[in-house]
Amino acid sequence: MAEQPQTIVEPAAPTDKPYGARSQSNLQSIYPGSPILNGDITDDERKETYQAEALDGNVANGLGFNTFNRDYAQNGAPDFDDVETGGGGKPATAFVPNPSSPGPGSTSASDQPEFQGEITNSAPEYGSGLGGTQSPSTTSTEIEKQTLGSYISGESYAGSDGQA
């Protein structure tokens, strides 16, 4: 994310530039039909349009998807608490496949017993924020709340770095 505001359509007024400074009245005279120069298109209007057309709502006939909702939580993000674990091909946890052997003579995951060992917690890896254990159903809701200009450098959303 840019650390300094960028020009969208409303340039900053020149300060003490005798040569090469823009003249708003000359530009309006030369381009009388310009929606930028006559005020129909402004920085605020562009930001609102971008929010509405690029960040919010449904997309129909997208690339490879019939429909897609830009409000991430509306797409059915999984909840790790709902992951069914155990034997018979189910994972050992929401994060780890079942490492148990199905037994002699079998290669079928449906023959796997429930894992009885201990799953250790690994240390958070670089860039993992909350340790990679936050459920997408939680993070999607937080990401959905973002608006243009509310982004935080180095974080997906406020608090996603694991710091209170």
Condensed to tens digits (0 to 9), the pLDDT of residues 26-71 reads: 999 999 999 998 889 999 999 999 988 888 888 888 778 788 888 8
43 part of a folded domain: no
Number of structural domains (the chain) is 1
- Rounded distance between C-alpha atoms, residue 67 and residue 139, angstroms: 21
Three-state secondary-structure class, residue 68: strand
d(CA 16, CA 19): 9
Q: Is residue 90 part of a domain?
A: yes
Whether 31 is in a domain gets the answer no
Give the per-residue pLDDT at 49: 92
Residues of the chain with pLDDT under 70: 1-2, 122-132, 161-164
Residue 16: inside a domain: no
Coil, strand, or helix at residue 60? strand
107 occurs within a structural domain? yes
- Cα–Cα distance, 54 to 21 (Å, whole number): 34
CA 121, CA 138: separation in Å to the nearest integer?
20
Cα(124)–Cα(17) distance, integer angstroms: 53
Residue 42 lies inside a defined structural domain of this protein:
no
Which residues form the domain of 88? 72-117+134-146
- Hey, which residues does 80 pair with through a beta bridge? none
Measured distance CA(83)–CA(98) in Å, rounded: 13
129 found inside a domain: no
Write down the pLDDT at residue 62: 72
* Residue 86 falls inside a structural domain: yes
